[in-house]
Structure formats: structure tokens, C-alpha cells
């Protein structure tokens, strides 16, 4: 099956993710492709904000002189959570082995 082209709005990381997912999974519904595009965009957004936080530092000084977490850190956290939710909606969430043995009672 021919892999549909990635949306033009995606950057390199998002396009790579798009191609990788579509090489492993088949989607039939239009809304699944839209969700995949949203997930790929999340990866692009996280990458962009991570670069900003890397340059500016994880912590910054607020207007009162106190040290606070860079606002980008919250954006990264929120966008990663959105990515995880989209992946679960697409049923791409692969759970690993259980980390503890099953209960015996």
C-alpha cells in the first residue's frame, strides 16, 4: 500500500513519525489520518519548545525576582499528554510486560 503524504504543516520529526506509523499500521477512516496528523504535530511542537527551554534554561526569574519553572516546561508536559491520548485513540498504544507478578489471591 502506498503511504499517503504527510501534511505540509509538519516538520521533520512529525513527518518521520507519520511515515513510520503508516509503514506499520493501516488506517481506513479519514478521522484516523487527522488524529495521526495531530499526534505528529504534537511531536513537532514538543521539539520546538524543548529547544526554547534548552536555550533559556528550565528555570527563569519572575517579575518579583523569584525562581520559577519556565512556562515552556508546562507546554511540553501538556503536549506530551495530548500525544499519549491521541496514540491511545488510534489504538497504537502497545503495553509492555507487567512490571510486577500477578496477585495470588
DSSP single-letter state for residue 67: E
**How far apart (Å, rounded) are the C-alpha atoms in residues 53 and 50?**
5
Q: Is residue 62 part of a domain?
A: yes
Res. 51: pLDDT tops 60? yes
Q: Is residue 6 part of a domain?
A: no
0.85 exceeded by the pTM? no
CA 91 from centre of chain = 15
Res. 93: pLDDT tops 80? no
Range(s) of the domain holding residue 78: 12-89
Indicate the pLDDT class of residue 1, thresholds 50, 70 and 90.
low
Q: Is residue 102 part of a domain?
A: no
**How far apart (Å, rounded) are the C-alpha atoms in residues 42 and 48?**
10
The whole-number average pLDDT for the span 41-59 is 96
CB atoms within 10 A of CB 83: 19
Which residues, at least 6 apart from 48, have a Cβ–Cβ distance to it below 8 Å?
11
CA–CA distance from 34 to each of 13, 18, 43 (Å)? 17, 11, 15
Q: Is residue 95 part of a domain?
A: no
Amino acid at each position: 500500500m502506498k503511504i499517503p503524504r504527510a501534511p505540509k504543516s509538519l516538520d521533520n520529526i512529525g513527518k518521520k513519525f507519520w511515515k513510520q506509523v503508516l509503514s506499520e499500521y493501516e488506517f481506513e477512516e479519514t478521522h484516523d489520518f487527522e488524529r495521526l496528523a495531530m499526534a505528529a504535530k504534537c511531536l513537532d511542537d514538543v521539539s520546538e519548545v524543548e529547544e526554547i527551554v534548552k536555550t533559556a534554561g528550565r528555570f527563569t526569574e519572575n517579575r518579583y525576582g523569584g525562581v520559577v519553572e519556565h512556562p515552556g516546561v508546562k507546554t511540553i508536559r501538556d503536549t506530551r499528554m495530548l500525544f499519549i491520548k491521541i496514540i491511545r485513540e488510534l489504538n497504537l498504544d502497545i503495553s509492555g510486560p507487567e512490571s510486577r507478578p500477578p496477585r495470588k489471591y
